[in-house]
Each structure stands twice: as structure tokens, then as C-alpha cells.
Amino acid sequence: MQKLDYQPDQCESLFRQKAAGAFDLLRSLCPPTPQHHASIASGYRLRAEFRIWHDGNDLHYVMFPPGEPRNPHVIDEFPIAAPRITNAMTPLRERLQRSTELRRKLFQVEFLSTLSGELLITLIYHRPLDDTWRANAQALSESLSCKIIGRSRKQKLVLDTDWVEEVIEVGGREYRYRQPEQCFTQPNGFINQKMMTWLLEQCATTNHDLLELYCGIGNFTLPLSHQFRNVLATELSKAGTAAARWNVETNRTTNIELARLSAEEMTAAMAGERPFRRLADLKQPLGQYQFDTLLVDPPRAGLDEATLRLASTFKRVLYISCSPETLSPNLATLSATHDIQSLAFFDQFPYTHHLESGVVLTRKAT
């Protein structure tokens, strides 16, 4: 994580500036007036990671300016983090300093929190961890009322669980999510709720099916499942897929099927180019789904050409993007078959150039 230029009084104006820049990239596609969903100015980030800088028997959390890996900036306060993280940072550092066993060759600290108040701390080392470390870490866990994981090369020691449980209310319903350590989850919980709500508002109840690519732990899958007859959601990450299955079962959702496939593999399956054993256990064959809506939430690289061709065959495409620079050419390609019906910008990462976008595309009349 890089050092942040924290300007709480400028939070919304900075968001408006980068949203305007993103809108300029899309202007030639004649998009509608976008919605703007600003973040709270502080206490929003549910994940944080810091390098540890050793100074004799003292240690500090540090970040590095872009391109300056040898210029550590000491972080005494981190107000953008969720309260559960900020409240733990100082007592954690003090306890690490007092314990030779916990401090020795500690390289990095990672925090994972939730809106529901859970906290998991991962301590990463440049040395093997043993039972002595475990005993000290257990005492640390109890003193901070949090979960602790120790990591080193080819080693992972889990004292409690390697996940936290989140509870999110969307559209009048509560959803429980298992969020594993080192598995992607939305870092800004407040904006995540706004994104979920916005997606729900775009989807009237239908008797058709939804195909979702890059579903992760089922973040959007669960609330959207109420709007469709069936949902087939795919995710390549083994840990993400396992968490999504737990989330589906725990929330007693019966119309969601999950498959551990990449977007490219699912595109090949939809085109009939090859069969996949990971689709063999579906309750109904792939060909019996009646898809009319596609949801994609790709990484910063955006959609590949084959997935864009697949998207062009759908009546409606819901596109969640974390990069306006790759969203723009993707939408330019889809503009041959689809019009932009709705557009929204979400400030998932205040004080940075990063911007989350939501786009609804509908197929042009023929």
C-alpha cells in the first residue's frame, strides 16, 4: 500500500474531478447523465497493509511513495481505515515491540475488517514460525480480541479461522458473507452497499436467467439472485469459489449455481467450443439456461475480445469496472450492438485516481 494524500475537506470535490475525467473518456458514446456516489471521508477502508520498519528495538508501520521503495514514510495514524483497524494499530505495535518473539523478522502486517466489527490480522515474517510464536500470538489475539494468522515462506499458521464474517443489508434483506484472508473483497464497505443497491435498482424481476463472470465470493450474486429465475456465477479463484458456496448455502439461496471457471473458459463453454467437467454437476445443462442478462466485474485489464463477443449476444449487460481507461474501449466495442442505458460512478478509493464505474447496456433494436 502506498502513502495516501489525505484531504478530508476535499474528498467530494476530488471525486467529482476524477468522475468528470472518466465521463470525458465516454463522452463520444453518448452516455446518460451519470449518478455520483461519494464515499465518507474517513473510516471507510476495511483492508489495509503496512510494511514494518525496524529501528533497533522499535518498529513502525510504513508506506512508500510511488517509485520510491527505499523512502519509507512512517504511519502513526491511518484515518481512512475502519475504526476496528485504527483502534488496533497502536496497541498492536506496542505489543509487537514488547515481544522479541513476535517482532523478530516481522516484515508486513495486513488488516481485514468488516462493517459488522470483526478483525483479522496477518503477520508476515522472513523466518519460520513455531510453537513459541503460536503461544505469543495467541496471547496477542486475546488481548486485541481479534483473529491472528502467521505467514512465512511456505507456512501459514491459523489461530482461529482464516476468514471474517460480514453482514450487509441491501434492499431490506441481510446477507452474511464469509470473507477469506487474501481473497478479494470490496475494500470500501459503504460504497459496496451503494453499488449493490444501484445494481438492484437496475434489475426488475424477470423469469429469465443471469450469467455472472468474476463473481468472487458472491458479493453481488446474492442480492441479485432475487431478481432472476436462476443465476449461474463463475469465479476462477479456488478460495473465492469455496467462500461463494458457503455464502450461498448460509443465506439459503436455492437458485444460484457456481462454477470454478475463468471468464475465458466460460466464454468457450457458452460457444460450445469444448466441454468442462466443472459444469457437469449443474442442476440443469448449460443449454437449458435462458440467459438475457450478463454481469461482469473484471480486473483492471477489462474484458478480453472473446468475452466482449459473448457480451454482445446478451439483451442486457451489467458492467462493473475499476478502470475507466479499460472500460472506455470495452464500451466502444459494445457500442456496435448496445446502448448505454445507465451510468454511475462510485468513489471506492477516495484520494486516489482510482474510480469504480457501473454501466448498464441494452441491446439495440434490430
Cα(126)–Cα(41) distance, rounded to whole angstroms?
35
The answer to whether residue 322 is catalytic is yes
Residue written as grid cell 435498482: 201
Cα(297)–Cα(320) distance, rounded to whole angstroms?
5
**245-249, long-range: CB within 8 Å, 24+ apart, which pairs?**
246/178, 247/175, 247/176, 247/177, 247/178, 247/217, 247/218, 247/222, 248/218, 248/221, 248/222
Please give the grid coordinates belonging to residue 115.
462493517
Cα(318)–Cα(360) distance, rounded to whole angstroms?
5
DSSP 203-245: ----SSEEEEES-TTTTTHHHHGGGSS-EEEE-S-HHHHHHHH
Cα(308)–Cα(277) distance, rounded to whole angstroms?
24
Return the SS3 of 257.
Answer: strand
Residue written as grid cell 481479534: 146
- Residue 198 region, left (φ>0) first, then alpha (ψ -120 to 50), else beta? alpha
Among candidate residues 166, 212, 235, 356, the one labeled active-site is: 356
CB 320 within 8 A of CB 356: yes
Please give the grid coordinates belonging to residue 348.
471506492
Among candidate residues 203, 273, 322, 325, the one labeled active-site is: 322
CA nearest 113: which of 208, 186, 59? 186
The answer to whether residue 30 is catalytic is no
Please give the grid coordinates belonging to residue 55.
529501528
Cα(293)–Cα(213) distance, rounded to whole angstroms?
11
Cα(194)–Cα(341) distance, rounded to whole angstroms?
19
CB 203 within 8 A of CB 293: yes
Catalytic residues: 322, 356
